[in-house]
A = this chain, B = another copy of it.
């Protein structure tokens, strides 16, 4: 298998997608997920244009990825200034990553109309920037922005910009279809021409404006490109970047290229879904390879066919990429994958035991109702232990009532407002043969319940004082049901050392939140005991 190098830009180009905004904590979690998958380069931010990214890079210095190389992104220096004096390049260096990605202009129109520089000035900016970064011992990936459009408009100049990068010491060059409009045959021919001309690793960076980013990446590899840039779930500006999960899926299962370590291919589906959860984005069920419908069969002939021979209507075996076959309207799928997960907490359970089958059928039923245990391992572990009869909850809730009285001055029509404590929760908990009733008020019902619950339980379990909620997410599961839709609440909790995620599903956001809050405390008590 020929090795290809994958650069994931979920945290940089992906963050430019509509509705996507990552906190520093989100970014750390995504780095971990990509690192575990074995992605070679993680392009994690643009420190020059986004000061918030600096906090992230500072945090990363004490938690280097196992496999991945971090790279920071920036542009060639501004005109009429030395590279060493350019503040954006100084920020880039401060990120302290082993690698930097530098983009420069290849399209003459962009140089003259957008950058408003002369064609020669642009070449000098490329040369000076890369030479300077090489004196700082950085691995330099040179992104030739708009290369394919530039080559179409002025092929000689586009090639001159690459020559400037190569001569100045770039470690690799990457051809970008920045506007995402190129056809696969063009990508193939132009990439091949570049590879024949320069002795340097060549990469490809595509966007999906024509719906062909995946195919365009693969055609560049067929032409000899060895580095691929994209985002694992396809996030990115406009129609998104090349969806790396499909690029990796295709090249690694069908074309004898190694994009990630072979043993990690089975993590592909889970990793994409984790990223979707962190980004709070509903991934399309139709996503190639990793979507929940990617191997879902509905038509009668198709169901009959896959039953006789899976190859009849499946282009690959779904388990290869950690996905599963689903026969719609008959939940018979995925048992072995699920038993595998159960065994993580109950290593002695027999794969084909009635106990395993019973757990699988309960979990499947819950998934059918909207639970999704990927990304909520805390709730999953509690559930498995309880179903196995080896865990008894530490407490029970006997009463829970919330009263919310909105102050009418502050519900104005989309105006900023001062918030007051509008919610009161009354709660009665039972621990063994003792009970405690109390109440608390909070900023909204979930906060009021959270406070009342802790107030009641800290009497019995002082260690609860250590924990705090780190994130709270709500996903509507069935948007057709309007405000009566089922919602899935994910709560992430930390005690300063560990993070865990718990989940609740209900049509009532208060109930779903309560279930997740209760599990988050139970999980802490479970951990404390062990």
Contact = CB atoms under 8 A, between A and B. Distances in A.
Contacts of A399: 408
A417 B506 contact: yes
A60 interface: no
A383 B18 contact: no
Contact of A332 (B50, B113, B219, B502): B50
A19 to B, nearest CB: 5
Contact of A483 (B18, B398, B447): B447
Interface in A395-447: 397-406, 408, 410-417, 419, 422-423, 442-447
Nearest to A399: B408
A132 interface: no
B479 A23 contact: yes
B315 A423 contact: no
A293 B18 contact: yes
A239 B288 contact: yes
Contacts of A411: 397, 400, 511, 514-515, 518
Interface in A343-400: 365-366, 369, 371-372, 374-375, 379, 382-383, 386, 393, 397-400
Given A113-B308, A114-B308, A414-B502, A444 B511 contact: yes
Q: By DSSP majority rule, is chain A's interface helix, strand, loop, or mixed? A: mixed
Given A294-B209, A365-B416, A446-B483, A250 B509 contact: no
Interface stretch (A89-97, A259-267, A297-305): A297-305
Given A49-B332, A484-B442, A286 B238 contact: yes
A484 B470 CA distance: 11
A413 B288 contact: no
A294 B485 contact: no
A469 B445 contact: no
8 contacts: A18-B375, A183-B255, A237-B299, A369-B416, A399-B408, A402-B405, A422-B510, A473-B475
B212 A212 contact: yes
A280 B113 contact: no
A141 to B, nearest CB: 18
A143 to B, nearest CB: 13
Contacts of A190: none
Nearest to A50: B332
Contacts of A178: 313
Given A286-B208, A519-B414, A21 B372 contact: yes
Interface in A299-333: 299-302, 304-305, 308-309, 311-316, 328, 330-332
Given A238-B296, A419-B507, A511-B411, A479 B484 contact: no
Interface string A12-54: 0000111101010100000000000000000000000110000
A190 B40 CA distance: 35
Nearest to A302: B237
Given A208-B288, A405-B401, A522-B413, A114 B510 contact: no
